[in-house]
Structures are given as C-alpha cells and as structure tokens.
Amino acid sequence: MKFVFLAGGFAGFLLTLLTGFLAGRAPDLVLRDAAFGCLAGALLFRWFWSVFVKALTEAVALKRAAAEAAAAAAEAASAPGKAK
C-alpha cells in the first residue's frame, strides 16, 4: 500500500510538473500545482488500489467456492452405492 501511495504521488507530481512546464507557466506556479498533483495522484492511486484488492479478493473467493463445489460433486459422484 505504501508503494502504491508513493508511486501515485510521484506520477501525479511528474505529470503535473511536465504539463505545467510545457504550457509555459511560471516555475513557482508549476511547483505549487505539482504539489497538488502529487496529493491528488496519491489519493487516486490509493483508491484504485483498494478497488483492485477488493476485486482480487472476490475473484479468489469465487474461485475457491467453485473448486470446493467441484470437489464435493466429484466426491458425491464417485461414492459407491449412491444413486445419481
């Protein structure tokens, strides 16, 4: 989580810094905006990471439930003397 937060902050800072300089703005305004971009990028990446982890957790839980259901069905089908 710390890495994602830092990577998002760096990406936001760099993107805002480059955009400001390419637009020909004054360096003091560019650095101020880059600081805000750093904060916005960090928060955005943190939110995206939490959504990604939640989706990954749900996918693993669904896969585990499907594997358990398949194992139970295979066990029931292979049990001798049971009607199908």
pTM: 0.73
> What per-residue confidence (pLDDT) applies to 76?
87
pLDDT per residue as tens digits for the range 15-41: 999 999 999 999 999 999 999 999 999
Asked whether the beta carbons of 10 and 38 are under 8 A apart, the reply is yes
Tokens (6 digits) for 63: 């896969």
Asked whether the beta carbons of 53 and 1 are under 8 A apart, the reply is no
pLDDT per residue as tens digits for the range 61-77: 999 999 999 999 988 88
> What per-residue confidence (pLDDT) applies to 60?
97
Is residue 44 scored above 80 in pLDDT? yes
DSSP reduced 3-state for 18? helix
> What per-residue confidence (pLDDT) applies to 83?
54
Residue 45 CA to residue 55 CA, distance in Å, equals 15
Place of tokens 């600081």: 35
Domain ranges of the chain: 2-75
